Amino acid sequence: MKKLLNLVALLALVSGPALSQTYPSKPVKWLIPFSAGGPTDVLARAIAPKLSESLGVPVIVENKVGAGGSLAMDAVAKSAPDGYTIGMGHSGTQSINPHLYTKLPYDSLKDFAPITPVVSYVNVLVVNPNVPAKTVAELVAYAKANPQKVSFASGGTGATNHLSGELLKAVTGAPMLHVPYKGSAPALVDVMAGNATAMFDILVTSLPQIRAGKVRALAVTSAKRSGYAPDIPTMREAGIEGYEEAGSDLWFGVLGPAGMPKAIIDRLNAELVRALRTPEVSERIRVQAYDVWTLSPEEFMNFLRTDHARWGKVVKFSGAKAD
């Protein structure tokens, strides 16, 4: 029996390195939690060809839509931990949904092997040009003086632009009514039309409207100004202390199922970082107003723990539930 146990232990020690030495020997499936043509999908399809070149096998992007991205990430969590199924997680699937859904089918911290974040991005607070507020502080004061007049639109309950608004309410006490839409595009249209007061939106869709004067930008949610809009102040600069401690880092990142051999995780990390540095991928990221952001797998895990905890506080304050 002792010899058998020693043999099992020896096999466990060598199986990981042996597997990683032959990896990859077949196509890698990359699950994307949102529909084709969306920002997450476009980003993955820009990276996949370069990742395929460096791995020497096809990297097949597959869209698996539903439940705020949870269907795709659940499939990743339940796949074999051999490096042939990875997923594009983000702030929603890993940090927000665990607090939003009471019956989420995966544990966002225990059921995944973090590989690396790929980009970070920010939301920008915009208001209809007719709103008598030129700063965030003025918007907060206006909301407190007119508690029935101020609303903020979002792409849906639990979306990052919804929770960005809830966070503003939490740190300022501003009474703003949340108005959820079926997507961020119709929400922004209603802000431009004056049917909603304000909205937190991603830069790539709001910047053209800001430049055209159809909405007024008040602040970005990040801890420092965005290089894509250096004239827009941060929340702290706009007089809102503590905002960036909870809501500044929005991100997309690559994860595999828990139990993947470290050598494979490190290989995927290195190849993704290399792909992100190529001119073609860098240009696609720039067009989408994202910033390249990579970490080691260990650093990514530490970030995920912090991100999970801070968004949990925002969801709890908002009272939002998705099921």
- For 66-116, the pLDDT digits (tens) are 887 889 999 999 999 999 999 999 999 999 999 988 889 999 999 999 999
Compute the residue count for the chain: 323
CATH for 123-247 is 3.40.190.10
Q: pLDDT band at 9, cuts 50/70/90? A: very low
CATH 3.40.190.10 residue ranges of the chain are 123-247
Residue among 107, 159, 179, 110 nearest 315 (CA) = 159
Q: What is the pLDDT of residue 319?
A: 82
Q: What is the pLDDT of residue 2?
A: 47
CATH 3.40.190.150 residue ranges of the chain are 2-120+250-318
Tell me which of 18-32, 142-156, 222-236, 258-272 is least confident. 18-32
Domain topology for 2-120+250-318: D-Maltodextrin-Binding Protein; domain 2 (3.40.190)
- Structure token digits, residue 233: 């102040």
Mean pLDDT of the chain: 90
* pTM given for the model: 0.87
Measured CA to CA, the distance from residue 241 to residue 216 in angstroms comes to 21
Average pLDDT of span 181-206: 94
Q: pLDDT band at 8, cuts 50/70/90? A: very low
Residue among 213, 4, 3 nearest 129 (CA) = 213
